[in-house]
Structure 1
Amino acid sequence: MEIFQIVILALIQGLTEFLPISSSAHLILPHQVLGWPDQGLAFDVAVHFGSLVAVMVYFRNDVWALIRDGLGGFADGNFTDDGRLAWLIALATIPAGLAGLAFQGFIETELRSAAVIAATTIGFGVLLWWADVRGVRTRTLAELDWKKALLIGLAQALALIPGTSRSGITMTAGLMLGMKREDAARFSFLMSIPIIALSAMLLTYELATQRGPVPWGDILLGTLLSGISAYLCIHFFLQFISRIGMAPFAIYRLLLGAGLIWMLVG
């Protein structure tokens, strides 16, 4: 890839990983629509790692409390709110992990197309808008129980389909369960840590078993830009989500999906 393509794709990954508009779709589309070269496995590892670092740095105090109290509660049976939340996040990660192991090959070969992305972008965009409008938006993270966490985790498994959006579908599920926007977003972002970590480890393993040179310069640049843009995205999204709601993202998804359909049939 050329430098400007690396910069654009890294920024796209960082911004779209945590916005409810699908990072996988936006990384596939330059190749599908613009004819850009496929970014390759090494670059996927880099931008995922950058996003992971960003969310862990932004929520560093939360992450430390979750690890400390989660392990401490498991050891002595006395769970704090953070300890309970840590195990709810672990529970919510299981469905997507199992689905990834079972269906990743099929998804990679059969579902990475502009037609699928158009359908999921529109369909789940409408669902996001509906959940935001119809949700009662009164429940907080402290009211989350294992059944609701598992339902959000099952929703996260759907994000393996390109165009769905991991953050979008988990926030949609949270809103449908009556959570406040900020709490649904916060749980979605914290849920991203184990699932992105697992994805990055799997991609790293696949990269390590491949032969050929590793483009370290591209990897470092992609990691840096993805991390910076993801950090800024998380910060501003949490600052403004309670005021702007999900409508702008739903509208963007509808326009993107409509544009893709127009390109496919034109």
Structure 2
Amino acid sequence: MDWLQVVVLAIVQGLTEFLPVSSSAHLILVPVLTDWGDQGLAFDVALHIGSLAAVVFYFRQELVKMTLSWSGSLVGRGMDADARLAWWVVLATIPVGLAGLIFHDDIAERMRSPLIIAFGLIAFGLLLAYADLRHRGRRDEYQLTLRDALLIGLAQALALIPGTSRSGITITAALLLGMNREAAARFSFLMSIPVIVMAGGMEVLALVRDAAEVEWVTLVVGGLLSAISAYLCIHYFLAFIKRVGMQPFVIYRLLLGAWLLWLFW
């Protein structure tokens, strides 16, 4: 890997992990627009670690409170708002975890088509537009119920379909359930933590089995760039949607989906 490839892939990963625009679509576009080969599993692991570090650091205060309250709920100290939110994040992760275990191989082999990604970008982009314009409400993440968490978790499982966007579909579901934009995004980002841990853990196991040689400088630089771009993405995305909303991302999804259809139809 040359350094341009390292920088581009790290920034693409850091941004698209949290923007509602589908990371799988952009990872398809990179080899289309370049002659770069596969970056390798070790580099993928480094990028995931960078994204995970960014979201954990950004929400560090919330995570500390949630963890302490959740731990207290396990030993009978009762359920406060932070404990409930922690439980909702855990429960909302179960559907995508089960779906990933059951369908991962089929999806990897049969659904990585650029056309499927294009249709996913367009269809779920239109659903995001509808949710943002017609159904968003005023509830925040601390007002979620068990039913809400499970429904958002089921929606997250749809993100296994390439082109859907994990953040996009979970924000859409949260908006449809009456959450405001910032709360929907915050809950989506909190839900990303166990998902990235699971995905990264599977990659680490595969990497250990392969026992391949790695270039540590490349991995460290890629991980740092992924972390920085992901942190900035979370920060500015939350401020942006509060003022502008989701429609610019919808337009981007539609244009990108149309371009993929034009390229691969």
- TM-score greater than 0.5 by the shorter chain: yes
Q: Is 2:190 the counterpart of 1:190?
A: yes
Deviation at 1:32, TM superposition (A): 4.5
Deviation at 1:101, TM superposition (A): 0.7
1:258 alignment counterpart = 258
Q: Which runs of 4+ in 1 moved over 6 A?
A: none
1:25 alignment counterpart = 25
Identity percentage of aligned residues: 56
State the distance in 1 between where 2:215 and 2:161 align: 28
2:85 alignment counterpart = 85
Question: What secondary structure, in the 3-state scheme, does the structure 1 residue paired with 2:142 have?
Answer: helix
Look up the equivalent residue of 1:91 and give its one-letter code. L
Question: What secondary structure, in the 3-state scheme, does the structure 1 residue paired with 2:7 have?
Answer: helix
Deviation at 1:106, TM superposition (A): 1.1
Q: Is the 8 A contact 1:14 1:228 kept in 2?
A: yes
- What does the per-residue CA deviation read over 1:136-177, in whole Å, with 9 as the maximum and x for residues that have no partner? 422222220011100000111111112111100000000011
Question: What secondary structure, in the 3-state scheme, does the structure 2 residue paired with 1:159 have?
Answer: helix
- What does the per-residue CA deviation read over 1:89-119, in whole Å, with 9 as the maximum and x for residues that have no partner? 0000000011111111111111112111111
TM-score, with length taken from structure 2: 0.97
1:159 alignment counterpart = 159
Aligned residues: 265
2:101 alignment counterpart = 101
Q: How does 1:27-176 map to 2 (within 5 A)?
A: 27-32=27-32, 34-176=34-176
Deviation at 1:77, TM superposition (A): 4.4
Deviation at 1:29, TM superposition (A): 2.2
- What does the per-residue CA deviation read over 1:195-233, in whole Å, with 9 as the maximum and x for residues that have no partner? 111111111111110033122222111101000000000
Question: What secondary structure, in the 3-state scheme, does the structure 1 residue paired with 2:20 have?
Answer: coil
Look up the equivalent residue of 1:264 and give its one-letter code. F
State the distance in 2 between where 1:57 and 1:192 align: 13
Q: Is the 8 A contact 2:69 2:82 kept in 1?
A: yes
1:7 alignment counterpart = 7
Deviation at 1:28, TM superposition (A): 2.7
Look up the equivalent residue of 2:197 and give its one-letter code. A
Moved more, 132-141 or 248-257: 132-141
Look up the equivalent residue of 1:165 and give its one-letter code. S
- What does the per-residue CA deviation read over 1:33-54, in whole Å, with 9 as the maximum and x for residues that have no partner? 5442122211111111100000
State the distance in 2 between where 1:35 and 1:130 align: 38
Q: Is the 8 A contact 2:21 2:121 kept in 1?
A: yes
RMSD of aligned Cα (Å): 1.2
State the distance in 2 between where 1:145 and 1:32 align: 43
Question: What secondary structure, in the 3-state scheme, does the structure 1 residue paired with 2:211 have?
Answer: coil
State the distance in 1 between where 2:163 and 2:105 align: 17
TM-score, with length taken from structure 1: 0.96
Q: Is the 8 A contact 1:29 1:114 kept in 2?
A: no
Q: How does 1:184-223 map to 2 (within 5 A)?
A: 184-223=184-223
Gaps of 5+ in 2: none
Look up the equivalent residue of 1:222 and give its one-letter code. G
2:227 alignment counterpart = 227
